[in-house]
Amino acid sequence: MGPLRRKSASPLLGRGIFGEYSTTDNEIWSHQRALIRPSFVRAQVTDFSIFSHHVDQLIALIARHNYEVDLQQLFFRMFIGAYDLRAHQVLDSNSEYMFGESVGLMSENASESATEFHQALDYAQQGTILRLRLGNLMFTHRDKKFRQCCRTVHAYASRFVDQALEYRSKQQQQQQQATGGSQASEKGAAAKEEGTARQKYVFLNELAKDTDDPVLLRDQIVNMLLAARDTTAGLLAFTFFVLARRPDIWSKLRADVLDHYREPLTYEAIQEMTYLRYVLQETLRCFPPIATNSRMAHRDTVVPCGGGPDGRSPLFVKRGSVVTYSTFVMHRRREFFGSDADAFRPERWAPGEGLRPGWEYLPFNGGPRICPGQKFALAEASYTVARLLRAFEAIESRGLDPDEDPVPADGWREQLTLSLTLRDGVLCRLIPAAT
């Protein structure tokens, strides 16, 4: 990744793991990645105690809208809250994980500041991708609203950073007081340890243990919030976009979910839902969150193929060259996924099909820069799908009127910002299950 990407992203992402440090200093980048890795250990991935509340709110919100909704919009709102810096359900679910409290976007009475934050984040993200597309013409991007939205996002996140630093200061004072008294009893120490174990994991508080730089902390949580929200919300949006148009897949998937569902829904129960796994894998193949990506060569190198008339000869890549590739296209190549590669067919992932993809299947990238939160995203997506298919017995597409707003033959138009989404959302009607 090169300086153009750094320059295009820095107004929003700053020094975060996907911003400036992702392109400059490998040692700093590696350290930052090590900091976020504990957020995605198995104990965090398999714990739905926080997330379940946000799915409850989602189901209730669908009912309040008389079961006719744009699910994509709701998923993005949901994912800015559970990550409370895990990110927007990830804003509502992710903000709770990351900041320690939900920003409340799934509430009917969401605060003005939370709504403003959500809108500013979306606009700033769109501006960032536009700057990236402009490349060397980035200087022509003179959008005052973009800059203001970046400031709004930073100001909102900084509120939580201040709280985290205050929490860190109090913890340090308590530790000093505890170590200062030479007669501290074992009983008191045990009680303190038990209290600590009961504390809710908050991503931002953990980051603050490593640094007290408020700007770096702010940049990190904004980076993580975007990554967590867009990956999971986009995956869910495309999944339900397909399900609304494929009643055969909906019926088979719902049967799989109901066969293995138990209350409360656990990670172990989800692991038994094999068809659910196939559906999500196929969604990631057909609609990868990062549809295109690029890398810059830090030194002269040779890649094993891509050169020659047939593209099968070695290819020299000069230092400083930017190589761009399309995951979207690669995932639909017939030599990798069969003659029906353009079709949505979850059964292709069954063991008997013999499909064992390697580097030709990269929904979460690969190598050292593979997405550290992929298991977390899949766990949240699986949980959400299972809960919704239990709550609703059917789904009907409520697409746009083709006479008023024509769409392509396959029924969707892309919106490509930092991730792939549906330009027209997922308009549908959900039929509640009989109780």
pLDDT of 199 reads 56
CB 33 within 8 A of CB 160: no
Residues 268 and 298 in one domain: no
Residues 318 and 171 in one domain: no
Give the rounded percent of residues in the chain with a pLDDT score beyond 70. 79
SS3 189: helix
Residues 322 and 228 in one domain: no
The residues, any chain, with a CB within 8 Å of residue 408's CB and separated by 6 or more, are none
Residues 298 and 422 in one domain: no
Residues in the chain: 435
SS3 136: helix
Domain assignment of residue 283, given as a range: 3-288+331-432
Supply the DSSP string of 203-260, one letter for each residue.
HHHHHHTT---HHHHHHHHHHHHHHHHHHHHHHHHHHHHHHTT-HHHHHHHHHHHHHH
Q: 277, 310, 329: which is the final residue of a domain?
A: 329
Residues 406 and 307 in one domain: no
Residues 250 and 167 in one domain: yes
Where b means 16+ CB within 10 Å and e means fewer, 51-87 reads bbbbbebbbebbeeeeeebbbbebbbbbbbbbbbbbb
Residues 315 and 242 in one domain: no
Q: Report residues of the chain scoring pLDDT below 70.
A: 1-2, 19-29, 31-32, 35-44, 80-111, 180-201, 400-410
Residues 352 and 324 in one domain: no
How far apart, in Å, are the Cα atoms of 248 and each of 57, 198, 253, 258, 350?
A: 28, 45, 9, 16, 17
**Which tokens is 423 given?**
């330009």
Instruction: Give dist(CA 205, CA 196) in Å, integer.
Output: 13
**Which tokens is 5 given?**
């990407």
Residues 141 and 269 in one domain: yes
Instruction: Give dist(CA 51, CA 262) in Å, integer.
Output: 17
pLDDT of 286 reads 97
pLDDT of 380 reads 93
Residues 307 and 363 in one domain: no
Instruction: Give dist(CA 173, CA 396) in Å, integer.
Output: 57
pLDDT of 403 reads 57
Where b means 16+ CB within 10 Å and e means fewer, 293-309 reads eeebbeeeeeeeeeeee
Residues 82 and 14 in one domain: yes
pLDDT of 90 reads 38
Q: Which amino acid is at 397?
A: S
Report residue 266: phi and psi, to 5°. Answer: -115, 165
SS3 70: strand
First to last CA, the chain: 53
Residues 198 and 302 in one domain: no
Q: What is the pLDDT of residues 60-74, one digit of tens each?
A: 999 999 999 999 999
CATH number for 428: 1.10.630.10
pLDDT of 85 reads 35
What is the total count of domains within the chain? 2
